[in-house]
Amino acid sequence: MFHGEAQAGRSGVGLAIVKATVEAHGGNISAVSKKGEGTCFTVRLKRA
């Protein structure tokens, strides 16, 4: 999922909630940003 400049200026609270939820389930989240293109978030969860 990519978020461009239209997302600029937001608080990022949603990402903190996602991070806490993912980590509570034994997973992790990472992000890669490219200037002018946006950010790609990867969420990895363990299999049940």
Tens digit of each residue's pLDDT (9 = 90 or more) over 11-34: 678 889 999 999 999 999 999 999
Number of domains comprising the chain: 1
Output the pLDDT for position 27. 97
- Whether residue 10 is predicted with pLDDT greater than 80 in this model: the reply is no
Output the pLDDT for position 2. 47
Burial 12-29 (b: 16+ CB within 10 A, else e): eeeeeeeeeeeeeeeeeb
**What range defines the domain where residue 32 resides?**
2-44
Stated pTM of the model: 0.65
Helix (H, G, I), strand (E, B) or coil at 48: coil
